[in-house]
Homo-oligomer: A and B are copies of this chain.
Amino acid sequence: MTKALSIFDTTLRDGTQGEGISLSADDKLKIAKKLDDLGVHYIEGGIPGSNNKDIEFFKRIRDYKLNAKITAFGSTRRKDSLAEHDSNLARIIDSGVSVATLVGKSWDFHVHTALQTSLEENLAMIYDSIAFLKRKGLEVIFDAEHFFDGYKKNPEYALSVMRKAEEAGADWLVMCDTNGGTMPHEVHDIVTVLKGQATSARVGIHTHNDCELAVANSISAVRAGAEQIQGTMNGYGERCGNANLCSVIPNLQLKLGYQVLEEEQLQQLTNTARYISEIANVYMPVNQPYVGSAAFAHKGGIHVSAILRDSRTYEHIAPELVGNRQRVLVSELAGQSNILSKAQQMGIQIDPERESTREVIDRIKELEHEGYQFEGADASLELLLREANGDLKELFVFESFKMLVEKIAGRPVTSEAFVKLKIDGASIFTAAEGNGPVNALDNALRKALITYYPGLKDIHLSDYKVRVLDDKDATASKVRVLIESGSFGNSWSTVGVSGNVIEASWEALVDSLRYALLGQAKREDYVAISSDSRGLVNH
Measuring CB to CB, which residues of chain A are less than 8 angstroms from any residue of chain B? 16-20, 22, 51, 109-110, 113-114, 178-181, 183-185, 209-213, 215-216, 219-220, 223, 235, 237-241, 244, 247, 250-251, 255-256, 278, 281, 283, 285-290, 292-300, 303, 305-306, 309-310, 312-317, 329, 331-333, 368, 373, 375, 397-413, 415, 434-439, 442, 460-472, 474-477, 479, 483-484, 498-503, 505-506, 532-533, 535, 537-539
Contact = CB atoms under 8 A, between A and B. Distances in A.
Given A183-B219, A184-B216, A400 B405 contact: no
Contact of A436 (B179, B501, B539): B501
Nearest to A474: B461
Contact of A465 (B219, B400, B464, B468): B468
Contacts of A483: 474
Contact of A298 (B183, B238, B241): B238
12 contacts: A18-B299, A19-B286, A22-B368, A184-B219, A209-B287, A211-B290, A240-B292, A281-B469, A413-B500, A413-B539, A437-B500, A466-B479
A475 B464 contact: yes
Contacts of A281: 469-471
Contacts of A464: 468, 471, 474-475, 477
A409 B398 contact: yes
Contacts of A411: 538
Given A212-B216, A401-B407, A405-B503, 8 more contacts: A211-B250, A403-B404, A403-B405, A410-B532, A413-B500, A436-B479, A461-B474, A464-B468
Contacts of A220: 184
A313 to B, nearest CB: 6
Nearest to A439: B475
Give this chain's copy count.
Answer: 2
A321 B499 CA distance: 40
B114 A306 contact: yes
A256 B476 contact: no
Nearest to A535: B407
A144 B425 CA distance: 64
Contact of A255 (B17, B211, B502): B211
A400 B404 contact: no
Contacts of A183: 219, 251, 255-256
A288 B255 contact: no
A468 B240 CA distance: 23
Given A244-B212, A285-B285, A402-B404, A501 B503 contact: no
A479 B505 CA distance: 14
Most interface-central of A110, A238, A240, A247 (chain B CB within 10 A):
A240
A183 to B, nearest CB: 6
Given A178-B314, A316-B211, A503 B461 contact: no
Given A287-B240, A435-B475, A415 B500 contact: yes
Contacts of A401: 406-407
Across the A-B interface, give the 10 residue pairs with the lowest CB-CB distance, nearest first: A181-B316, A216-B216, A461-B474, A212-B247, A466-B466, A19-B294, A439-B475, A179-B316, A436-B500, A435-B476
B303 A238 contact: yes
A246 to B, nearest CB: 8
A378 to B, nearest CB: 13
A528 to B, nearest CB: 16
A299 B19 contact: yes
Most interface-central of A22, A213, A255, A408 (chain B CB within 10 A):
A213
Given A400-B406, A498-B413, A19 B329 contact: yes
Contacts of A442: 475
Contacts of A409: 397-400, 532-533, 535, 537
Contacts of A184: 184, 216, 219-220
Contacts of A298: 238-239
A412 to B, nearest CB: 6
A475 B180 CA distance: 40
Contacts of A532: 409-410
Nearest to A331: B22
Contacts of A471: 278, 281, 462-464
A470 B212 CA distance: 30
Nearest to A307: B114
B306 A20 contact: no
Contact of A468 (B51, B114, B466): B466
B405 A114 contact: no
Given A184-B184, A251-B183, A538-B410, A295 B463 contact: no
Given A403-B404, A471-B278, A375 B332 contact: no
A287 B241 contact: yes
A288 B288 CA distance: 12
Nearest to A440: B475
Contact of A463 (B403, B406, B474, B501): B474
A404 B285 CA distance: 35
